[in-house]
Amino acid sequence: MVNRRTREIGVRLAFGARRGTILRLFVFDALRLAAVALVVGVPLSLAIGYSLRAFLFGVGPFDPAALAGACFVLTIATLLAAYLPARRAAAVDPIVALRCE
């Protein structure tokens, strides 16, 4: 996502956007995508967990701790996956970003 929007980042930086604004833009976009994944994924995991309850050992199909842990891990992974490229993109020179194709 960051690589595809390099030109946009260059334009934003050339017009005076702060690097923190660029970081927030990409991190919030990624968190929005993770929120959609959680809204869709949690009910699906509950339904599938119920249908596979015979194969679950040591955890119930509706275990809130396991579900919360999975949601937490997904959110942290999303933050890291969005923050690292966004930080690198926000540090690029606007002239270089505008020349990039």
Q: What is the DSSP letter of 101?
A: -
DSSP characters for 46-85?
Answer: HHHHHHTGGG--SS-TT-HHHHHHHHHHHHHHHHHHHHHH
Mean pLDDT (the chain, rounded)? 85
**Segments making up each domain of the chain, as ranges:** 24-92
pTM for this model (two decimals): 0.74
Q: What is the pLDDT, as a whole number, of residue 38?
A: 93
Percent of the chain with pLDDT over 70: 95
